[in-house]
Amino acid sequence: MPESTMQKIVSLAKRRGFIFQSSEIYGGLKACYDYGPLGVELKRNIKDAWWRDMVHRRDDVVGLDCSIIMHPDVWRASGHLAGFSDPLVDCRNCKERFRADKAPRAVPGSALVCREGGKRDGRKLAGTVGPAGYVCPVCGSGDLSPERQFNLMFRTSLGPVDPVQEILDALDSLVELEPSKRKERLAGIVDRTAVYLRPETAQGMFVNFLNVLNSARVKPPFGVAQCGKSYRNEITTSNLTFRTCEFEQMEMEFFVEPGTDEHWFDYWSRARFAWYQSLGMRAEKLRLRRHEKEELAHYAKACVDVEYFFPFENPEGEGEWGELEGIANRTDYDLRRHSERSRKDLSYFEAETRKRYVPYVIEPAAGADRAALAFLCDAYAEEMVEGEIRTVLRFHPRLAPIKVGVLPLVRKDGLPEKAGEIMRELMAAGINAFYDESGAVGRRYRRLDEAGTPWCVTTDAETNANGSVTVRERDSMRQTRVPMTGLAEHFRRLLGGG
């Protein structure tokens, strides 16, 4: 069977150092990934482009960087502690633990049919479909435990207390309790020092609303942007870095006067859709999808997703729309909740009009890992060149991990020394360059194509003769001669200055 596009991308990602499985020498860790030397540059470039376009190039957005561990009251107020959970069920037949809301549906009360692969451990399926109306996704059994709510936040413990030791110390008194009281008491011991890894960066902007207002001389409409890791203990992870338990968000909360929220919702939907194209993503692979009413989070008035058509494999073939970013009208829900719980007034007083209001919030929330994966997939191309398949990553130059490859045509005649001079000039200018002198120059070009390097500079006999070099462009493979002096300025101009 031929390799699918996604398999090729996964294998390129590992081979060339974009994405490795985390802790691979220990067998890996479920849905955790590391960015290799090329991947870290790609992701940095995406995050930098986001920060530049969302913060530095605007006078109405400021930045913020909050700690990942926050006070548990933040999650009580936001509703994440009570409500951010999946319903989990255990199969008593095959011991699988699965999400009830993702399980295969069946008519309650109907007799179970033993399907192919429908047994495990030699046990036979029997009985009828339970009242919940679904069966085990692995073995098809209807013999299931009750649903248990499983909170998606990662819990840990802050302070000089080891919960294991605390539970041990309380063990005898725990058992003396009635079984119905035990969980409460046990949870109480754990909760005393429990803190959570944030499931979204957004709450950091809400709880710092007053701090930003008082320190940054901003007034609505204004935004607060943050880039950082968030954590969700997802049961179902898939497709390389598309859905992982540890991921990086690029979120911005834009505070506006109620009544202007629909205008700003449209504004940001359009702006964020355009952003991906401004970095070279193909328009035909992008769409804006508006959420249906029943799909909306309870606090949201409206939401659209920017979706990319990923080359994921699925039963219907290759290709699947996946969310890159959601733009939500969160109304004044979050500020009001934190206002109530903290008893701090999180409203804004407009001096000119003497109006006081709790701002509405428009939130463009993007995933940095998903963006990196989408840009990687979008850049991937194969083409026939001189009877051979050329694999090339057509990154926008601003996103390309390596900007310039520097190659002496041969390893003699002073060409490596000239190439070394060029390397030093580019590196001093902060342009990420890569020196390569081993192998035929054609093979070196191919390797740099595969890394998505937009330009190669080659020193050759003419360099010695007249001080010119060959600059080869990745996509067209066109070669032009350029003076060796001023190469850093040349590439800086091509990269768009700054």
CA dihedral 49, 53, 56, 57 (to 10 degrees): 140
Residue 231's φ and ψ, nearest 5 degrees, are -135, 130
Q: Which of 111, 114, 126, 190 binds a second copy (CB under 8 A)?
A: 190
Is residue 440 close enough to count as binding a second copy by CB under 8 A?
no
Kindly tell me which residue out of 111, 171, 297, 381 binds a second copy, with binding defined by CB under 8 A: 171
| Tokens of residue 38, six digits | 């090329």
**Which is closer to a second copy, CB of 379 or CB of 433?**
433
80 C-beta neighbours (distance < 10 Å), count? 20
Among 307, 325, 436, 460, binds a second copy (CB under 8 A): 436
> Which is nearer to a second copy, 160 or 317 (by Cβ)?
160
Instruction: Give whichever of 54 and 306 is closer to a second copy, judged by the CB atom.
Output: 54
Q: Does 290 help bind a second copy (rule: CB under 8 A)?
A: no
Q: 130: number of CA atoms within 13 Å, CB side?
A: 18
Q: Are 474 and 494 spatial neighbours (Cβ–Cβ below 8 Å)?
A: no
Smallest distance, Å, CB 378 to a second copy? 21
Least Å distance between CB 15 and a second copy? 6
Shortest spacing between CB 447 and a second copy, in angstroms: 8
219 near a second copy, judged by CB under 8 A: no
Which of residues 214 and 353 has its CB atom nearest to a second copy in the complex?
214
Taking CB under 8 A as the criterion, the residue among 229, 291, 301, 490 binding a second copy is 229
* 51 counts as binding a second copy under rule CB under 8 A: yes
Closer CB to a second copy, 24 or 350, in the complex: 24
Q: Of 123-131, 227-235, 282-290, 317-325, which part binds a second copy (CB under 8 A)?
A: 227-235
Rg (CA), the chain: 28
Residues in contact with 209: Cβ distance below 8 Å, sequence separation at least 6, in sequence order:
224, 255, 335, 338, 346
Residue 377: CB minimum distance to a second copy, A: 19
- Per the structure block, which two tokens stand in for 480? 């032009």
Q: Considering CB under 8 A, how many residues would be counted as binding a second copy?
A: 111
- Of 338-397, binders to a second copy (CB under 8 A) are 338, 341-342, 344, 346
Q: What angle do CA 106, 109, 114 make, to 5 degrees?
A: 60
Q: Does 82 bind a second copy (CB under 8 A)?
A: no
Q: Is 187 among the residues that bind a second copy (CB under 8 A)?
A: yes
Q: State in angstroms the smallest separation of the CB of 289 from a second copy.
A: 28
Cβ atoms of 386 and 32 within 8 Å: the answer is: no
> CB under 8 Å to 269, separation ≥6 — which residues?
288, 304, 327
d(CA 393, CA 5): 13
Asked if 490 touches a second copy (CB under 8 A), the answer is no
Which CB, 155 or 490, lies closer to a second copy? 155
- Range 52-61, long-range pairs (CB < 8 A, 24+ positions): 52/498, 53/275, 53/278, 54/223, 54/225, 54/250, 54/252, 55/225, 58/223, 60/218, 60/221, 60/222, 60/223, 61/222, 61/223, 61/224, 61/225, 61/252, 61/254
Please tell me the distance from the alpha carbon of residue 308 to that of residue 380, in angstroms, as a whole number: 14
Identify the residue among 2, 117, 131, 172 touching a second copy (CB under 8 A). 172
Burial class of residue 132 in the structure, from the number of CB atoms within 10 Å of its CB (0-12 exposed, 13-18 middle, 19+ buried): middle
281: helix, strand or coil: coil
At position 221, the amino acid (one-letter code) is P
302: helix, strand or coil = strand
Q: Which of residues 122-151 bind a second copy (CB under 8 A)?
A: 148, 150-151
The binder of a second copy chosen from 121, 165, 315, 352 (CB under 8 A): 165
Min dist. Cβ of residue 354 to a second copy (A): 18
Span from 17-25, 271-279, 281-289, 460-468 in contact with a second copy (CB under 8 A): 17-25
Length in residues, the chain: 498
18-47 positions binding a second copy, by CB under 8 A: 20, 22-30, 32-41, 43-44
In the block, tokens 């699988």 appear at: 96
Contacts of 487 (CB under 8 A, 6+ apart): 422, 425, 426, 457, 469
By C-beta, is 132 or 431 nearer to a second copy?
431
SS3 258: coil
Stretch that binds a second copy, among 69-77, 112-120, 300-308, 476-484 (CB under 8 A): 69-77
Kindly state whether residue 64 participates in binding a second copy, applying the rule CB under 8 A.
yes
Residue from 4, 5, 8, 71 in contact with a second copy (CB under 8 A) = 71
- Does residue 208 bind a second copy (CB under 8 A)? yes
Which of 351/389 has CB closer to a second copy? 351
Position 14 contacts a second copy (CB under 8 A): yes
Report the site for a second copy in 400-429 (rule: CB under 8 A). 423, 427-429
